[in-house]
Structure 1
Amino acid sequence: MTDLLLLTFLFLIAGVVAVPIASRLGLGSVLGYLIAGIVISPVLAFLHVDVIAIQHIAEFGVVMMLFLVGLELEPKLLWSMRARLLGLGGGQVGLTTLAVMAVCMVFGQPWTVSLAIGLVFALSSTAIVLQTLNEKGLMKSDGGQSSFQVLLFQDIAVIPMLALIPLLAMPELIDVASTVGEHAADVAHGDAAHGHEGDHGSGMSLVAGLPGWQAAIVTLAAIGFVILGGSVLTRPIFRFIAIAQLRELFTATALMMVVGIALLMSLVGLSPALGTFLAGVVLANSEYRHELESDIEPFKGLLLGLFFMTVGAGVNFALLFDNLTITIGLTLGVMALKIAVLFALAVVFNIRGSDRWLFALGLAQAGEFGFVLLSFTVANAVIPTALADQLLLVVALSMLLTPALFILYDKLIAPRFDEAQAREQDAIDEASQVIIAGRGRVGGIIDRMLSAAGYNPTVIDFSSKQIDNLKKFGVRTYFGDATRPDLLAAAGIAEAKLLVVAIDDKEQITELVRYALQNYPNLHVQARAIDRDHVYHLYAVGCRDIIRETYDSSLRMGRSAFEALGLSREQADAMTEAFQEMDRAAMISVADVYDVTIPPTENEAYLARIREVLGPWQDELGAKMKAIAKTGPSKASPVAPSETEDTTSTSKTKAKPAGSKDL
């Protein structure tokens, strides 16, 4: 017990001291953890600590991280990535493998060894890259999304790699491998040099000994169970846990789900990280998504920190110093080769500007799966032990150098490409009664309409490229972040009559509307809503002039569809108006009971109102439309349900508050 407490305290104090210092110096938390591991490595060696065994436990942080990443991706969004997932990911793995293989063969290695080394270095570090991208707020950028797509493909590619490697066995190494295997069996608790072998070489399995077709059926059944269980079983499980009203039970349940899915994937020979990612995608639309995120996040952070420290502590400095020049040369050579391949792919797939360099530099390292594959190649007589030990150092060093590449990107590359950073906000030298935040495809039309009527609005946009293009046409737009209070004050928001929020980020729209309504109660705020759910959030913060960005065009298309089906223009107009009146009243009625603080499926008032809208209101609308189609608008005037039925909580006056006619 004392040994465990001492080891735990040692890792905790190393992280607590090193990470804040590294963050303060602008080095990032990942480099802080790596340095902490290097610093405590002599102490761990003195205590005879099996660092590789600890790394096995810490790698579960990667599993948790991919589960959380999956929670942020809806299935339709993942499906939309398929072209880049296969193109970028497949291209990176294939080209890097071939390039490394070619270089190894030039230096005299057999093609089997060269191919195995190529597969090892084709992989990158999911843990380091995703952690750093999230930490620096780069995950949503084109470079960040492209990096994620490649990492996801790599995690999938590990499975066929593990199947291919045994086929590359060299006859002269087979006797040595069997001797190593017998020795490893004798030391049941494992030696650090063979720590990763146990991941794939032994243990329980649901597919061991099965014919190929049966193993495939079992594997597909496991994947199906994860998908079905995530969509069907999650809700009743959490409802059952809620009976106890104990916070720790929710945390235990979240951990149980992640561990159980990882276990199932391991039993069928799949990557646990890939399985939990799939489960996260299935649960992305679940009302318990935020609950799962908040429960898993602390464990993920701690385990990833421990993993990074084990990488630093696992560097064999004796071997490194004995072969310093060749090890550093191999590391830099591999990273340069990967950067060249990634940069070429970025050009082909039209990743531009600083995102191209973020993509190329961020994925230049080898990955944590490299440790697994190298141990696997030794166990299967593919790569000699001495060469594998040398390559393990290259993998570890490349991971240690990765934070330095991100610093290079931050300090030297991004400022040269990011015009938004280099350009100062414009000084607004004239005030207007109207302020428009955002001059894209929505704000631009509003600006043209108001300018034509002589109102001359003050338009603010954060895209310097867009502003430079508009200047060529003589259109005046101010550069700046319209969500900043100081810029709004400079634009004269205190004296303005109207603020039009037409930026394209949902969260920024909501926060800007909230700020404006709270601080300028006499200001009329008109907001662009991205979707129906966004309408409810804007309504909740007090906005009553909300325009859904695709609503009017959809109504026009619906009206045109009526005419294409043989109805007259008069009938099509009347039927469209009937739908518009009902939908507007329904939106306001539902918004009155929508609560942004709880999941919609747990809001009984919201559910009841939706059933009412989809039931009696929808039936009445259908009857009115059929009457219009049959007799024409003169005999069946469209009337919104909220104006005729006393069963709704929305009165006629409330259904049409000032400025909300287009809700």
Structure 2
Amino acid sequence: MATDLLLNALIFLVAAVLIVPVFKRLGLGEVLGYLAAGVVIGPSVLGLVADAEAVLQFSQVGIVFLLFVIGLELKPSRLRVMRRSVFGFGSLQVAVTTIVLSLAAWWLGLPPPAALVVGFSLGLCSTPLVLQLLGERKELQTRHGRHAFALLLFQDLAAIPVLAIIPMLAADSLLADGVMPLARGVLVAAAAFIGLIVGGRYLLRPLFHYAAATRSREVFAGTVLLVVIGAALLMELAGLSMALGAFIAGVLLADSKYRHNIEADIEPYRGLLLGLFFMAVGMMAQIGLLAEMPVTVIGLTLGLVALKALAMLLAARLHGSGWRDSTNLAVLLSQGGEFGFVLLSAAATAALLDASLVSLLILVISLSMATTPLLFQLHVHGLRRLFKRPSAAPAFDTPPDDSPQIIIAGFGRFGQIMGRALQGLKIPYTVLDINADQVEVVRRYGNQVYYGDAARIDLLKAAGADKARILVVAVGDPEASMRIVEQVGRQFPHLRRYARARNRYHAQLLMRAGVTHIVRELLPASLELTRDALIGLGIPPDQAQHTIDTFRPHDEQALMRQLAVFGNEKKQIQTIQDAARELEALYEADEDITTRVEEAPRRES
């Protein structure tokens, strides 16, 4: 048994390693590669792994982990904001798609109840496939990416009651059994749903606090798996979707301070199991049917993709989306989905659909999933460009070499303050900014700013970097900041680099690049406000300033200790905790500070 399991694992790994990189190199994406690998090793081709259905059932855990990670990214407040998209747009899209496909199924000869089940089942889309495609192109946070996620979430929710209704459509089951079994099932599902939310809200954070206190990464990772699988099984036992349970658990932990640690621990499992899921879908495709009736299978697949795309386009336009977002959604949501396998199989079990028809439809769904990566690639490089023709970027300016003492890269709010001070002192400086719109706005107020990328060596030379003394990197984007810093360090080693750091992590990156003059953009303002708040409590101004003066060098020392363990998250966390305890001890040792803080409330009262 163990040998068979290891052999199957080896087969999956070899197929993925050999086939998926080829598809990625051809620009077709990982998903299509996994689907093709599943077809090759499945019963229809080489037959290396026979039980495709068992693999598919196990690989559903990959969808569970995917929905858990998505839940981690969605804070409850953001989910409330999305309710119009989820329930308004989602219900509209499901209704339009189901009507269109049900009418097509009825026209092809199915009776109304069967046509309705087929229409709804084929109308569902593949959550992991769509989210993977959006993730590969970093489009999850775009408008069409958010709409796609909302629609997929509503589809998963809508599939649950339909799964319960299918046996009743088979004929006389409702008359025979009465409404009590259905009512009992609804009550159990509602109780499980509420129990997960209430229990999770009060139990999850203490559980993770306990796991983190052990300082064992294995215990923490085990706790993550316990929560994900436990929430999924609870929903499954209640007759709901496992993915829904994992999603709710993720949302409940979205505000947790452990969110990033949880995401890092779950990521390897999610990626492996999602790949296994797509391979299982490929294995489920009965390619023999394609050989037996190629015209029927290809015709149904193309018809499904075309009808779903048109229905999605109609629903998006009715919802008020623009043509660009509507076409994006139409292409992304034109395939069948994994829930279709479940619903169609349930319909076959209830004798509502013939088993041979279900096999044909499952093949059509699998083939439609394989078309989506190809269609999306064609859409991105073709149709999408028609709706927004890329305007020619303006050419970079060639700044004159006015022998500046200082070059400022980035002239937003941060850089403008420095520029005003230098202008008042009549110190010559040159400004480069990559944002053409920002350059135009700043020029209206009489500032001499040049449009250009400060990471370009030719522009820096033209601006006088060979003779300047200081470069101030004031750009807000950490990646752009690091490009400039590294280029200047290599090409103009004499130029002293002063940099704005967006946060502690950015500051550590800058220090690793050799920058010694760094200002964290929020630190001075936050310390100044802290001092004012202390004064507001009744602490004398000189003592409040002394408190801030004590904090600043301690914080710089803590930052240097964090730099020494850069890249080791566990040691970074430990360093931060140690620094917090040291600061408390430092303040307690300063009797003057402690006395003034304790006396302040009494003076106020």
Task: Tell me whether the two structures share a fold, i.e. TM-score over 0.5.
Answer: yes
Deviation at 1:613, TM superposition (A): 11
**AA paired with 2:479?**
Q
**AA paired with 2:21?**
P
CA distance in 2, matches of 1:516, 1:625: 53
Deviation at 1:59, TM superposition (A): 1.9
- The answer (yes or no) to whether the contact 1:434–1:498 under 8 Å persists in 2 is yes
- The answer (yes or no) to whether the contact 1:460–1:477 under 8 Å persists in 2 is yes
**AA paired with 2:381?**
K
Deviation at 1:120, TM superposition (A): 1.7
- Residues 47, 29 of structure 1: CA spacing in aligned structure 2 closer, same or farther, 3 A cutoff? closer
Q: Which moved more, 1:406-415 or 1:208-217?
A: 208-217
* Local SS of the residue matching 2:500: strand
TM-score, normalising length from structure 2?
0.76
**AA paired with 2:433?**
I
- The answer (yes or no) to whether the contact 2:44–2:286 under 8 Å persists in 1 is no
CA distance in 2, matches of 1:171, 1:130: 40
* Local SS of the residue matching 2:432: strand
CA distance in 2, matches of 1:609, 1:326: 74
Pairing 1:264–2:265 present: no
User: 1:240-639 maps to which residues of 2 (within 5 A)?
Assistant: 240=214, 242=216, 251-344=221-314, 357-413=327-383, 423=393, 426=396, 428-430=398-400, 435=407, 437=409, 457-461=430-434, 495=468, 497-503=470-476, 505=477, 507-508=478-479, 511=482, 515=486, 522-523=495-496, 525-527=498-500, 529=502, 544-548=518-522, 586=551, 589-590=554-555, 592-594=557-559, 595=562, 598=569, 602=574, 603-608=576-581
CA RMSD of the aligned region, Å?
4.9
Q: Which moved more, 1:470-479 or 1:3-12?
A: 470-479
CA distance in 2, matches of 1:282, 1:69: 12
* Local SS of the residue matching 1:59: helix
User: 1:191-230 maps to which residues of 2 (within 5 A)?
Assistant: 210=184, 212-213=186-187, 215-230=189-204
CA distance in 1, matches of 2:594, 2:483: 34
Deviation at 1:141, TM superposition (A): 3.4
Deviation at 1:56, TM superposition (A): 0.9
CA distance in 1, matches of 2:408, 2:263: 36
CA distance in 2, matches of 1:271, 1:408: 33
Pairing 1:63–2:34 present: no
* Local SS of the residue matching 1:27: coil
TM-score, normalising length from structure 1?
0.71
Quote the residue 1:156 is aligned against.
157
CA distance in 2, matches of 1:292, 1:40: 34
- The answer (yes or no) to whether the contact 1:528–1:549 under 8 Å persists in 2 is no
CA distance in 1, matches of 2:18, 2:286: 23
Quote the residue 2:130 is aligned against.
129
**AA paired with 2:147?**
S
Q: How many residues align?
A: 580
CA distance in 1, matches of 2:311, 2:594: 57
Deviation at 1:54, TM superposition (A): 0.8
Pairing 1:50–2:24 present: no
Q: Which moved more, 1:262-271 or 1:80-89?
A: 80-89
- The answer (yes or no) to whether the contact 1:498–1:523 under 8 Å persists in 2 is yes
User: 1:98-109 maps to which residues of 2 (within 5 A)?
Assistant: 98-107=99-108, 109=110
* Local SS of the residue matching 1:499: strand
- The answer (yes or no) to whether the contact 2:472–2:499 under 8 Å persists in 1 is yes
* Local SS of the residue matching 1:137: coil
Deviation at 1:483, TM superposition (A): 6.2
Quote the residue 1:8 is aligned against.
9
**AA paired with 1:34?**
L
CA distance in 2, matches of 1:15, 1:248: 27
Deviation at 1:316, TM superposition (A): 1.5
Deviation at 1:471, TM superposition (A): 9.3
Deviation at 1:601, TM superposition (A): 6.4
Aligned residues with identical type, % of pairs = 34
CA distance in 1, matches of 2:552, 2:116: 60
- The answer (yes or no) to whether the contact 1:144–1:355 under 8 Å persists in 2 is no
- The answer (yes or no) to whether the contact 2:40–2:46 under 8 Å persists in 1 is no
Deviation at 1:128, TM superposition (A): 1.5
Q: Which moved more, 1:82-91 or 1:467-476?
A: 467-476
- The answer (yes or no) to whether the contact 1:578–1:621 under 8 Å persists in 2 is no
Question: How far does the alpha carbon of each residue in 1:400-440 deviate from its partner, in whole angstroms, 9 at most, with x for none?
Answer: 11110232134324566677797487364435655555566
- The answer (yes or no) to whether the contact 2:501–2:521 under 8 Å persists in 1 is yes
Deviation at 1:69, TM superposition (A): 2.9
What is the aligned counterpart of 1:236 among 191, 200, 210? Answer: 210
* Local SS of the residue matching 1:365: coil
Deviation at 1:308, TM superposition (A): 1.4
User: 1:101-120 maps to which residues of 2 (within 5 A)?
Assistant: 101-107=102-108, 109-120=110-121
Question: How far does the alpha carbon of each residue in 1:595-649 deviate from its partner, in whole angstroms, 9 at most, with x for none?
Answer: 475478643333336768999979958977998x99xxxxxxxxxxxxxxxxxxx
Deviation at 1:9, TM superposition (A): 2.8
**AA paired with 2:214?**
F
- The answer (yes or no) to whether the contact 1:470–1:477 under 8 Å persists in 2 is yes
- Residues 333, 601 of structure 1: CA spacing in aligned structure 2 closer, same or farther, 3 A cutoff? same
Deviation at 1:57, TM superposition (A): 1.1
Structure 2: gaps (5+ residues): none
- Residues 610, 469 of structure 1: CA spacing in aligned structure 2 closer, same or farther, 3 A cutoff? same
Deviation at 1:451, TM superposition (A): 7.8
- Residues 84, 218 of structure 1: CA spacing in aligned structure 2 closer, same or farther, 3 A cutoff? closer
CA distance in 2, matches of 1:430, 1:301: 51
* Local SS of the residue matching 1:150: helix
* Local SS of the residue matching 1:219: helix
Structure 1: gaps (5+ residues): 176-206, 562-570, 631-663
Question: How far does the alpha carbon of each residue in 1:70-102 deviate from its partner, in whole angstroms, 9 at most, with x for none?
Answer: 334444444443443334434333332233334
Question: How far does the alpha carbon of each residue in 1:111-145 deviate from its partner, in whole angstroms, 9 at most, with x for none?
Answer: 43333233223322122222222233333433333
User: 1:137-148 maps to which residues of 2 (within 5 A)?
Assistant: 137-148=138-149
User: 1:73-92 maps to which residues of 2 (within 5 A)?
Assistant: 73-92=74-93
**AA paired with 2:370?**
L
* Local SS of the residue matching 2:498: strand
- The answer (yes or no) to whether the contact 2:455–2:484 under 8 Å persists in 1 is no
CA distance in 2, matches of 1:6, 1:41: 14
- The answer (yes or no) to whether the contact 1:458–1:477 under 8 Å persists in 2 is yes
CA distance in 1, matches of 2:373, 2:82: 27
CA distance in 1, matches of 2:305, 2:440: 38
CA distance in 1, matches of 2:548, 2:88: 43
- Residues 51, 535 of structure 1: CA spacing in aligned structure 2 closer, same or farther, 3 A cutoff? closer
CA distance in 2, matches of 1:336, 1:213: 39
- Residues 601, 36 of structure 1: CA spacing in aligned structure 2 closer, same or farther, 3 A cutoff? closer
- Residues 48, 589 of structure 1: CA spacing in aligned structure 2 closer, same or farther, 3 A cutoff? closer
Quote the residue 1:659 is aligned against.
none
- The answer (yes or no) to whether the contact 2:455–2:487 under 8 Å persists in 1 is no
Deviation at 1:34, TM superposition (A): 1.4
Pairing 1:40–2:5 present: no
Q: Which moved more, 1:339-348 or 1:382-391?
A: 339-348
- Residues 287, 493 of structure 1: CA spacing in aligned structure 2 closer, same or farther, 3 A cutoff? farther
CA distance in 2, matches of 1:75, 1:577: 43
Deviation at 1:288, TM superposition (A): 4.2
* Local SS of the residue matching 1:138: coil
CA distance in 2, matches of 1:81, 1:446: 41
- Residues 428, 371 of structure 1: CA spacing in aligned structure 2 closer, same or farther, 3 A cutoff? farther
CA distance in 2, matches of 1:475, 1:333: 60
CA distance in 2, matches of 1:619, 1:349: 63
- Residues 461, 390 of structure 1: CA spacing in aligned structure 2 closer, same or farther, 3 A cutoff? same
